[in-house]
Amino acid sequence: MSKLAHKQPDFGFWFDIACLWVGTLFYGIYLVLFCICIYILLHRPRNAANGILLGTAILLFALSTIQAVLNLLLGSIEILHLGDKFPADSIGSADDMLYVANNIVADSLLIYRCWVVWNRNIFVTIPGLTGLVILIVFSADQQIPLSAYYAMTLATNVVLSVLTAGRIWWIGRQSRLAQTSKSSAQSPYASTISIILESGIIYSVFVVVRIAVDDLQPENVVFFVTEMLRQIVGIVPTLIIVRVGLGMSVESSSSTASGTAGAGARSGTGQWQVGVPTLDSETSFTSQPSRHVLGVMRSQQGDVEKGINADAKLGPEDRSYDYGVARPQGGSF
């Protein structure tokens, strides 16, 4: 941004304003999403999984907020030509380090998400953890070009996205096969939305765009994409947390299908069983209304069983007969 301001003052002024506007717009979107996220998480049961999601959401937003403040400061320095009074280079370096830290936190959440979707299979996380370690090494070495860091970020996110999206697609397919009612089955469109929103593909797309525009002319385009990317790195994981909190995530929607398949297998009619957390074993990723409905159903089932047991204790002399049908004294059907 500083090079452009010295070469073309008039265009540089409006360019800096546009960059600030883009960054502020995406931060505003993130702010609204973060408030929704916190509201949802605070109204969920307190457990370890919920604590991880809450802590991650707060950390991501805090880092993005500091980045937004630094970007406003850098933009003001460029617009008002205050480079001789403020260390713009140091502020820019701090901004880059915050982006790296935010990226590491976001990738860690995507790895955790992949681990959960794959039914806590530790071996699935090995590619993501390897990529995360390489990213940390790259960020510590100032000699490595920024393009290499973005390329490694893209590779890590693509691997995580493919693993998560593939698992979500498989679970959605199994859920549709298990549901007997078309209205309760997950549609292909809903499955596609789940894949896009829960696998982190959005962030991977923005990283691809950032790498693609790196060598384009005019070179100013890269600053717009970078401003968006700095907020997208926090928006995408927060969006995943919101879907999990609302019970819209794939393991919540597939828990019913998993229970149905298990019941079918016990009765000899089931043909498959989804290897995902069930409603009872994965309460931390199931919405509160779903657990309430399950509790009501269990309560009603208990009442019916009590009535049957009480009726069974009645002897022949305690029963009356209408049209050859036995019923308890004083009772009615």
Most confident listed range (32-41, 76-85, 245-254)? 32-41
Please say if the pLDDT value at position 291 is more than 60.
no
125 domain-assigned = yes
Which parts of the chain fold into alpha helices (H)? 2-7, 9-42, 48-80, 88-117, 126-140, 146-178, 188-198, 201-212, 221-245, 250-267, 288-312
> What confidence score (pLDDT) does residue 125 get?
92
In a domain, 273, yes or no: no
Would residue 18 count as lying in a domain? Answer: yes
Check residue 123 and give its pLDDT.
93
Give pLDDT, residue 281: 33
What pLDDT digit, counting tens, does each position of 294-325 carry? 454 455 555 545 554 554 455 555 544 443 44
Give residue 25's pLDDT: 93
By residue range, what is the domain housing residue 121? Answer: 2-255
Q: What is the pLDDT at residue 65?
A: 95
Residue 174, pLDDT score: 80
**Sign (positive or negative) of CA dihedral 74, 79, 80, 84:** positive
221 compared with 330, residue with greater pLDDT: 221
Confidence class of residue 191 from pLDDT cuts 50, 70 and 90? low
Q: Tokens 């681990």 label which residue?
A: 115
* Residue 227 confidence (pLDDT): 86
Instruction: Output the pLDDT for position 288.
Output: 44
Measured CA to CA, the distance from residue 199 to residue 110 in angstroms comes to: 8
DSSP string, 279-294: TTTTGGGS-HHHHHHH
pLDDT confidence bin for 140, thresholds 50/70/90:
confident
- Is residue 3 predicted with pLDDT exceeding 60? no
Closest CA to 67 of 95, 32, 102: 95
Q: Is the pLDDT of residue 7 over 60?
A: no
Whether 281 is in a domain gets the answer: no
Residue 308 included in any domain = no
Find all residues with CB under 8 Å of 239, minimum gap 6, and list them.
33, 197, 202
Is residue 77 included in any domain, yes or no? Answer: yes
CATH number at residue 218: 1.20.1070
Residue 27's pLDDT band, with cuts at 50, 70 and 90, is very high
Residue 79: inside a domain, yes or no? yes
Cis before residue 328, ω within 30 degrees of 0?
A: no
- pLDDT tens for 236-277 read 889 888 887 777 665 555 544 444 444 443 333 333 333 333
Burial of residue 53, with CB atoms counted within 10 A of its CB: 0-12 exposed, 13-18 middle, 19 or more buried: buried
Q: What is the number of domains present in the chain? A: 1
Mean pLDDT of the chain, nearest integer: 72
Q: Could you tell me the pLDDT band of residue 32, with boundaries at 50, 70 and 90?
A: very high
Average pLDDT over residues 203-230: 81
Three-state secondary-structure class, residue 237: helix
Residue 211 within any structural domain of the chain: yes
Q: pTM score, two decimals?
A: 0.68
Q: What are the angstrom distances between the C-alpha of 305 and each of 91, 111, 280, 298?
A: 70, 45, 22, 11
Which stretch of 16-25, 199-208, 253-262 has the lowest confidence by average pLDDT? Answer: 253-262
Banded pLDDT at 26 (limits 50, 70, 90): very high
